[in-house]
């Protein structure tokens, strides 16, 4: 039984996950980064102990998935916006000491990719890319069954390849990244700016825009077409570069887009690679995907043959 820790912008979730990727117990606490690292570590530790008690098992290892800049092999946290006091702290070393087990840490995009590859939609796929589209675009790349890492074992950012160099400014420094064009908030901003008039009641989220489009609203339909176009272009780029067995699609926006429409965009180009052999599949691990992914981080690091 692996103790899983998912550290996100709004909450820290902790759970016990068995060898089949099933969550046996789960506890949550607000992230509350302003309360400092020692407070966060103490809450994680007590939630792990409680989760273990609830399942009447011993923790045999701990896996952590966290948003932001983390260093998987030293265990240290880098510059994470909502965890300013965690910079330079090392929950891997601290939890290993507290529980006497091995602890593994990855970026949460990589953790989810490992979860879907091990226990989810991508089970058995050797070349898999996981993409999640919500308020940002993140993900992870698995090649030959192993998590792909860049130089200095860095985490590649699939959301920051440029789709339209004259597009809106992105937080990374470029303009028109996939993340700047195809997230839920980007879709909402486009809808608002094209709504005309004072746009007072046009402050809609992506989910509401998809709903309006299904009801036949013309502007909402254009917003969905635009969203589908940009999502499709980004997927086409990933297919052109990697030609993976499968791309697993997670996050709230992906649930509303038609996969066939995405394939339609991809089919417009990609003619030099066998794009039709790359499967598109929705993520299958549900609302506990991050927790399950965090547990899989441990298996990927320590339990492989
Ligand atoms: Zn960017």
Ligand 1: distance of its center to the CA of 171 in Å? 6
Compute the distance from residue 80 Cα to the ligand 1 centre, in Å: 17
Is the model's pLDDT at 200 over the cut of 60? no
CA of 53 to the centre of ligand 1 (A): 43
Which pLDDT tens digit goes with each residue over 234-285?
999 999 999 999 999 999 899 899 999 999 999 999 999 999 999 999 999 9
Centre of ligand 1 from the C-alpha of residue 206, in Å: 20
Q: What is the pLDDT confidence band of residue 305, given thresholds at 50, 70 and 90?
A: low
96 Cα: distance to centroid of ligand 1 (angstroms): 35
Q: What is the DSSP code string of the chain?
A: -EEEEEE-SSEEEEEEE-TTS-EEEEEEEE--GGG-HHHHHHHHHHHHHHHHHHTT----EEEEEESS-B-TTT--B---TT-GGGTT--HHHHHHHHHSS-EEEEEHHHHHHHHHHHHSTTTT-SSEEEEEESSSEEEEEEETTEE---GGGPPP-TT-SBS-TTS-B-TTSSBSBHHHHHSHHHHHHHHHHHS-TT-GGG---HHHHHHHHHTT-HHHHHHHHHHHHHHHHHHHHHHHHH--SEEEEESTGGGTS-HHHHHHHHHTS-TTTTGGGSEEEE--SGGGHHHHHHHHHHHHHHS--
pLDDT for 151-193, tens place per residue? 988 899 999 999 999 999 998 999 999 999 999 999 999 999 9
**Ligand 1 centre distance from Cα of residue 242 (Å):** 20
CA of 66 to the centre of ligand 1 (A): 20
């Amino acid at each position: 039984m692996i103790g899983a820790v998912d550290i996100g912008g709004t909450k820290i979730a902790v759970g016990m996950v068995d060898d089949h990727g099933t969550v046996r117990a789960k506890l949550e606490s607000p992230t509350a980064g302003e309360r400092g690292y020692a407070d966060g570590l103490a809450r994680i530790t007590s939630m792990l102990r409680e989760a273990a008690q609830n399942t009447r098992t011993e923790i045999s290892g701990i896996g952590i998935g966290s948003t932001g800049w983390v260093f998987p092999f030293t265990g240290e946290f880098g510059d994470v916006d909502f965890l300013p006091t965690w910079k330079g702290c090392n929950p891997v070393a601290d939890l290993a000491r507290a529980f006497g087990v091995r602890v593994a840490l990855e970026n949460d995009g990589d953790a989810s990719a490992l979860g879907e590859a091990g226990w989810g939609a991508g089970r058995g796929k050797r070349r898999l890319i996981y993409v999640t589209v919500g308020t940002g675009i993140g993900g992870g790349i698995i090649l030959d069954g192993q998590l792909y890492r860049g130089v200095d074992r860095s985490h590649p950012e699939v959301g920051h390849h440029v789709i339209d160099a004259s597009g809106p400014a992105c937080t990374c420094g470029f303009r028109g990244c996939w993340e700047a064009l195809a997230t839920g908030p980007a879709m909402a901003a486009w809808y608002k700016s094209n709504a005309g008039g004072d746009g007072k009641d046009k402050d809609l989220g992506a989910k509401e825009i998809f709903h309006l489009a299904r009801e036949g609203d013309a502007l909402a339909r254009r917003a969905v077409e635009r969203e589908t176009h940009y999502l499709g272009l980004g997927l086409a780029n990933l297919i052109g570069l990697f030609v993976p067995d499968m791309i697993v699609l997670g996050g709230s926006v992906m649930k509303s887009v038609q996969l066939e429409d995405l394939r339609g965009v991809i089919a417009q180009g990609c003619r030099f690679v066998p794009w039709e052999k790359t499967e598109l599949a929705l993520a299958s691990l549900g609302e506990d995907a991050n927790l399950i992914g965090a547990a899989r981080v441990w298996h990927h690091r320590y339990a492989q043959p």
